[in-house]
Every structure is written in C-alpha cells, then in structure tokens.
Amino acid sequence: MGIVMLIMAVTALNRLNLSIAGKTIEEEFALDTIKMGRIFSSFLWGYALFQIPWGYICDRLGPMRTLTASILCFGLGAGMMGAGPRFAAGAGISVLLVFQIIRFLTGVGEAAVSPSCIRVIASWTSLRERGFASGLQSAGLGLGGTLTPIFIAWSTLHYGWRISFYLCSALALLTVVIWRAYATDWPEEHKSVTAAELDQIHPGARGGDDLRRLTARAKSVPWLKMLASSSVWGLILAYGCQGYAFYVYYNWFYFYAVKVRGLKMMEAAAWTSAPFLAMALLSPVGGWFSDHLSRRAGRRQGRIYTVWLGMGVSAILLLTGSHLTITMIALPMIALAAGFNYFATSNFWASCIDLAPDFSASLSALMNTVGNVGGAISSTATAYLAVHQGWSRALDVAALITVGSGLLFSVVNAGRTIEEKSP
C-alpha cells in the first residue's frame, strides 16, 4: 500500500502540474481561460476513453505489467510537455494543438493507474479492510496534490516551467524502478508474505499457489451483467457527478486563488495544497468509517451513509465558502469541501471491489470513465460559467452536482455482488 500511495502521488503530480504552471504558460503563449480549459479537457478525454481498455488489460495480465507501462507512458508525456513549444515551432503548428495532443497522450497513460491500484487492493487486502485500503489509495492522490503546487511553483519560479515538467518525468521513471523491484500481482507470489498473512488476506490461500491467478484469467469480464445492474449504474453516474466537482478543485483552485482572491504565485500555490491535504487526511478516515459502519449496519448501509455524510458536508462548505468575502475563511472552507468529497470517494472505489471482486479493475475503469467525462465537462463548463456568470455561480453549480452524487449513490447495494441474483 505504501508503493500504491507513491504511485498515486506521482500520478497526481503529473496531472496537476499543468494547472500550477498553466498561469505562466498562459501568459507566455497568450492563451486565454477558454483555451486553457481545452488543454485541461484534452488530458481528461484521453484519461476517460482509455480507462476500460486498461482495466480489461489489468484484469487479464495483472497490475504489475499494466502499471509499469502506464507510468512509463505518462512520465514520457511530462517530458514531452517541456519540449512541446520547440516541436511546434519546428513543425509549423500551433502550440495550443501540440499541448492538447501531449496532454491527451499523458491522460492515456494515467488512465491505467486507478483501476490497476484497485486490482492491487482487491488482491492484497481482506474483505473487512477494503474501505480503509481504498482510502489510503485516495490519500496518496491527496498527498501528491498537497506537494505538487509548492513543488511546481517553486521550480517554475527558479528554473522555468519546462524544467518542472522534466523533473516530473524523472520522478515517474524512479517510481517504475521501485515498483518493479518489489511488486507482485498476488500475495501468494511474494516471498516476504507469510502463511499467516496469506490466511488473513484470503483464507485457504498458500504461497506459490497459482490457482487464483489461473481462475481469474479463465473468467471473462461480465459486461452485460454489469450494465444490467442498477447498483453499477448508480455507482458510475454518482461518480460522474463526483468527477465534475472534483476537477473544479483539481484544475481551477489555483486560478481561483490568483484571479478572484488576488493572491500572489507562491501564496496561491500554498493554498492550492490545502484541498489535497484535506483529501489526504479525510479519505482514509472515510474508508475506515465506512468499514466500521458496514460491520454494524451492513455493507450497503455503511457505504451509502458515509457517501451521504461526505457529499452533504462537502456541498454545504463549497456553497458557503464561495460566497464569503473574507479570503482567509473562504479558502479553508472550500479546501475542506474537497476533503469531505474524498471522505465519500473512498467508498466508490471500495464498492467496485464489493460489486465485482474478480473484475474490480474493469468495473473501476468503467466508473472512472464516467467520472472523467464529468471532469472533462467540468473543465470547460467551469471556465465558461466563470467567464460569463462569475466564479460564485460556477462553484454553486459544482455544489449542486455534489449533492446529486450523494443521491445517485443511494441506488448502490455494496452488500451483493453482480454475480448474485436479486431476492
């Protein structure tokens, strides 16, 4: 789980870097807010469209090889971003188009990360730990988001935005080395896992046993059962709404701090870390809370009540904070809204394992596809609303959609897999 958190942190670094360096890039190449929104959306379309293919590959080949290819791909994308303007000048095409293509390919690479990490959690954790482990995965994303704004702003200020992207690329390649040195697809394959640990994770499993791997590969992904399940539809549509709200924090918080609240570059970068710090802290708490509640009230109620609490509080904080004029009160409230969003979000990922334990990568990929379509819409819609109706209205819409996410999740029955028939 430590390496999973590292992978998620580096993923966050390579996804969020543009939103911090974007202000400098925007000024250097005379790009307006709408054009920056298109570049952000390019990443998300690549990220969304390749979720399902990567999820299927991971369920068939395992997360070790899938994550290796994924990290190499988006690490390469970060390096290409730094060289993009020179390539555009040499080829005689617009910088905007080059940035869109590179970010699309970076999104393709990152598309494998979350489904593959959920496959790791499904393989390496017991039933009673799914929520907390999913929370740790999300916490890794939050930690990466916490450190990224300061790291990118500092390196951009001292060495230029191009060097900041080259550094992101180098960190991705280092992560591949660590992952390959330690990882295995299943705990049965890892030499350091004891018999007692195996029995706790998967009762009856034995070291060196290939039975689970062979059984998993023999099965076909039950797409028709997934698409016929009301729980799956509730899950993916709710996550689409979550993605809309989440990408407001991810793409636009720094711009909001600078343009609306009038903060300077490093000050805004420090505040941009706040939503991700809140995510890192509250995501595992939400997973733990859900696991604890599930043992008392059942997994269906445990997951639903936790999502209601997280999304409800998140919407109230976002709505209130966006209308406050005192910046030092408003920004912490909006940051805490992001944290409670992720308090709920760990349950979406855990529910993918609850509903389809043998195909968690494929289901989480389907869910993340819809989530990032929501994010792609958010990237453009938030820019449009902010320009034409003001930032308060843009954030009001995000708060309303956050409430919609909690309501849609009410349909999800995490206590029954899609293989089980309704009573």
* pTM as predicted: 0.81
Q: What pLDDT tens digit does each residue of the chain (423 aa) get?
A: 899 999 999 999 998 888 888 878 888 888 887 888 888 888 878 888 899 999 989 988 889 999 999 999 999 999 999 888 888 888 888 888 999 999 999 999 999 999 999 999 988 888 888 899 999 998 998 888 888 878 888 898 889 999 999 999 999 999 999 999 998 888 888 888 888 888 888 777 666 666 666 666 656 788 889 999 999 999 999 999 999 998 888 777 877 888 788 787 778 877 878 888 899 999 999 999 999 999 999 999 999 999 999 999 999 999 998 888 888 888 889 999 999 999 999 999 999 999 998 888 899 999 988 997 898 788 788 888 888 888 889 999 999 999 999 999 999 999 988 876 554
Q: By C-alpha distance, which of 100, 99, 37, 77 is closest to 375? A: 37
Residue 322 confidence (pLDDT)? 87
Residue 69 confidence (pLDDT)? 94
Residue 273 confidence (pLDDT)? 81
Residue 212 confidence (pLDDT)? 61
Residue 173 confidence (pLDDT)? 94
Residue 379 confidence (pLDDT)? 79
Residue 303 confidence (pLDDT)? 95
Residue 230 confidence (pLDDT)? 94
Instruction: Judge whether 347 and 131 are in contact, CB under 8 Å.
Output: yes
Residue 172 confidence (pLDDT)? 95
Give CATH superfamily name and number for 2-411: MFS general substrate transporter like domains (1.20.1250.20)
Residue 77 CB partners (closer than 8 Å, separation 6+): 14, 102, 103, 105, 106, 109
The angle that helices 2-28 and 95-110 make with each other, rounded to 10 degrees, is 170
Longest dimension (CA), the chain: 65
Cα separation, 17 vs 295, in Å, equals 40
Cα separation, 384 vs 41, in Å, equals 13
- Please give the radius of gyration of the chain, using alpha carbons only, rounded to the nearest integer: 21
Domain spans of the chain, in order of start: 2-411
